[in-house]
Amino acid sequence: MSFSPVKGMHDIYGEDASEMEEVTNLLKEFAKMYAYKEFIPPIMEYTDVFSRGTGESSDIVRKEMYTFLDKGNRSVTLRPEFTAGLIRGVVSNKLYAEDLPLKYFYCGPAFRYERPQLGRYRQFNQFGVECVGADSPLLDAETIIMAVQSLCVLGFENVSVKINSLGDEESRKAYREALKKYFSSYMDEMCEDCHERINLNPLRILDCKVEHDQEIAKGAPKIKDYLSEASEKRFYKTISYLNDMEIDYEIDENLVRGLDYYSEIVFEIHVKSQAGNDYGAVCGGGHYGGLVKELGGPDLPGVGFAMGVERIVSLLKDNGLRKEQPYLLDFFFMPVGGDEEVINSVFYLMQTTRLLGYSADMAEGGKFSSMFKKAERKKAKFAFIVGTDELEKGVANIKNIETQEQITIDLNKLDEELDKLFEHDECECDDENCECHHGA
RNA sequence: GCGAAUGUGGUGAAGCGGUUUAACACAAUCGGCUGUGAACCGAUCAUGCGCGGGUUCAAGUCCCGUCAUUCGCCCCA
């Protein structure tokens, strides 16, 4: 009997796991520079949080949720995205009574029942931010700039930002009606999905991928003609901030996004894969109006974005931006000779070294060649070689795996001897390959 | 939900109806060689070709089903 992981789920281990950890750590640290604090919402919510928050008309809610009854017959759902749950948390804890705007980042797994594909998993990790409680184009712009810069911090250079405005509620109502009117005369020729979309959310017809429908959509009314004066002003105000910060962007009139809560500005970020893979949007977000109120709180707006961590990691790999750790282990202990006394002494020595703050592992004897192979596989910086002779003299041989330089140290002064080995590394350079991270 | 391709050891894979005891390469483990990483040599490493049926004297090899993986559509991070 053997088991495979549940469809769409995947194991992450070894260097991939550390790569992911590194990426999320960078993103978290960067968010703190924008005065964001962490929010860790539960992994599941009552289903209503998403059906009301994320929205009944979104595909995510309509066909992609992991929803089931718990033993108390409550309908619960594994979060398909974070925003609705986080806002629910803001309302539950009455956080809106604090200094506004609230700025929270989040990071963790989300679940969507979709067909697995390149860069798409049923369990995947999202990093994102929500800025709640202040209605300002400056914050909308800040959020976009933050998203772009986060990706730059990770090493990406060619990020493309698409933005659009969906307008305020008035604008959208008017636009929605106009679209309904326009499309209803073409309904006979349009795809099945669009038949549903026209009533649920006619905006979604605009990004229908069926060729014939796209042709029809070309003649559809444009959102910009229906934007209220306030929305239009707001849109161009936001854009002006982007110009000031020299952020490259492109206005995409068909960008509507699939979650119901968006209003005003929405955006998406794509990154080119040098390996030629298309992972879709690596980041998406926008401004939302009625969400806090919809979930039982006061009428507060918000703005945020979400990034797909797996997509980012794949893209880093494809674009050769993945950082190789120079070494993963400070010392690999090699007992020579193979008698038990030596092995026990080496084990004791290794523990002492660990307590001094160094990472270490050991072999339980074996040939020199195989011990060195092990040391290399474990990416150890130094081989710590001890045999009967050394133990008698109270010394040890330490060999730098890479340079093959070997020195003999006095075991009675282990602490300072080891310090010496690493002190050259304690520089303050920015070189990412520099080994000065020791002790971090 | 729809469409397509693929499924042979830890990895890359040959074999495409019967001399194949499932080739070859890499990796790994042990030994030749109890004290410094090479090279070399030897040994070990799939009771089985995703799973279940069927065709056949004979099936990884053909057929059907099923499951899984990957890719495309839809949608999204």
ipTM of the complex in this document: 0.82
Residues linked to residue A386 through DSSP beta bridges, in sequence order: A335
A3 CA, B8 C1': Å apart: 19
Residue A435 has pLDDT above 60, yes or no: no
**Residue A432 pLDDT:** 47
A158: burial class by Cβ within 10 Å (0-12, 13-18, 19+)? exposed
d(CA A305, CA A180): 29
User: Cα angle at A281 between A277 and A286, to 5 degrees?
Assistant: 170
DSSP string computed for A337-353? S--HHHHHHHHHHHHHH
User: Are the beta carbons of A401 and A383 closer than 8 angstroms?
Assistant: yes
**Residue A13 pLDDT:** 85
Write out pLDDT tens, residues A154-185.
Answer: 999 888 899 999 898 888 888 888 888 888 88
**Residue A439 pLDDT:** 39
Mean pLDDT, chain A, whole residue set: 88
Q: Which amino acid type is present at position A187?
A: M
d(CA A183, CA A196): 12
What are residue A135's phi and psi, to 5 degrees? -105, 85
How does residue A424 score in pLDDT terms, banded at 50, 70 and 90?
low
* DSSP summary character for residue A203: G
Rg (CA), chain A: 28
Please give the domain boundaries of chain A with CATH numbers for all domains: 14-168+228-318 (3.30.930.10), 329-423 (3.40.50.800)
What are residue A334's phi and psi, to 5 degrees? -125, 100
Write out pLDDT tens, residues A263-303.
Answer: 899 999 999 888 778 888 999 999 998 899 999 999 999 99
Token pair 């939302």 is at which residue? A288
Residues A103-118 have a mean pLDDT of 93
A151 CA, B49 C1': Å apart: 45
A8 CA, B53 C1': Å apart: 29
Q: Which nucleotides in chain B lie less than 7 Å from some protein C-beta?
A: 1-3, 28-31, 33-38, 68-77
A403 CA, B32 C1': Å apart: 30
d(CA A318, CA A407): 41
**Residue A209 pLDDT:** 67
Write out pLDDT tens, residues A34-93.
Answer: 999 999 999 999 999 999 999 888 888 888 999 999 999 999 999 999 999 999 999 999
Token pair 């009533």 is at which residue? A199
Nearest nucleotide (C1') to alpha carbon of A337:
B34
Residue A428 has pLDDT above 70, yes or no: no
**Residue A436 pLDDT:** 46
What pTM was computed for the model? Answer: 0.87
d(CA A38, CA A28): 8
Nearest nucleotide (C1') to alpha carbon of A123:
B77
Residue A192 three-state SS? helix
